[in-house]
Amino acid sequence: MSERSRRDFLKGTLAAGVLAGHPGWADAAARRSATDWVPLGHSGVEVTRLAFGTGSWGGKVQRELGQERFTRLVRHAYDRGIRFFETADAYSEMHEMLAIALRGLPRDSYRLMTKMRLRETEDPKATIDRFRRELESEYFDILLLHCVRVPDWATQYERLRDGLSEAKERKVILAHGASCHGLLPLRACHRHPDNRSSHHVSRTISSGAGVCRSIGGPFGARSCHRPARLRMALAMALSFNN
How do residues 110-145 score in pLDDT, each as one tens digit? 999 999 988 878 899 999 999 999 999 999 999 999
104 backbone dihedrals φ, ψ, rounded to 5°: 95, -15
pLDDT category, 188, cuts 50, 70, 90? confident
d(CA 73, CA 228) in angstroms, rounded, equals: 11
The pLDDT value recorded for residue 4 is 53
C-alpha–C-alpha distance, residues 219 and 241, integer Å:
20
Within this chain, do residues 11 and 113 fall inside the same structural domain, yes or no?
A: no
Q: pTM of the full predicted structure?
A: 0.70
- Do 81 and 198 have their domain in common? yes
Residues 101 and 26 in one domain: no
Is 90 exceeded by the pLDDT of residue 30? no
Check whether 46 has a pLDDT greater than 90. Answer: yes
CATH classification of the domain holding 134: 3.20.20.100
Q: 144-180, pLDDT tens digit by residue?
A: 999 888 888 888 888 998 999 999 999 999 998 888 7
Query: 22 and 111: one domain?
Result: no
Which CA distances in Å does 80 have to 26, 33, 51, 72?
A: 25, 12, 12, 12
Q: Where are the beta strands (DSSP E) in the chain?
A: 37-39, 46-48, 50-53, 84-86, 111-116, 140-148, 173-180, 203-206, 211-214
20 with 128, same domain: the answer is no
Do 11 and 60 belong together in one domain?
Answer: no
pLDDT in tens, 60-106: 989 999 999 999 999 999 999 999 999 999 999 999 999 999 999 99
Q: Are residues 115 and 99 in the same domain?
A: yes
Tally of domains within the chain: 2
* Same domain? 49 vs 95: yes
pLDDT tens-digit profile of 204-241? 333 333 333 323 222 222 333 344 445 545 554 454 43
Do 169 and 86 share a structural domain? yes
Q: Rounded CA gap, 176 and 183, in Å? A: 19
Co-location of 64 and 11 in the same domain: no
Query: Does one domain contain both 163 and 114?
Result: yes
CA distances (Å), origin 141, targets 76, 83, 136: 22, 12, 13
Query: Which residues span the domain enclosing 10?
Result: 1-31
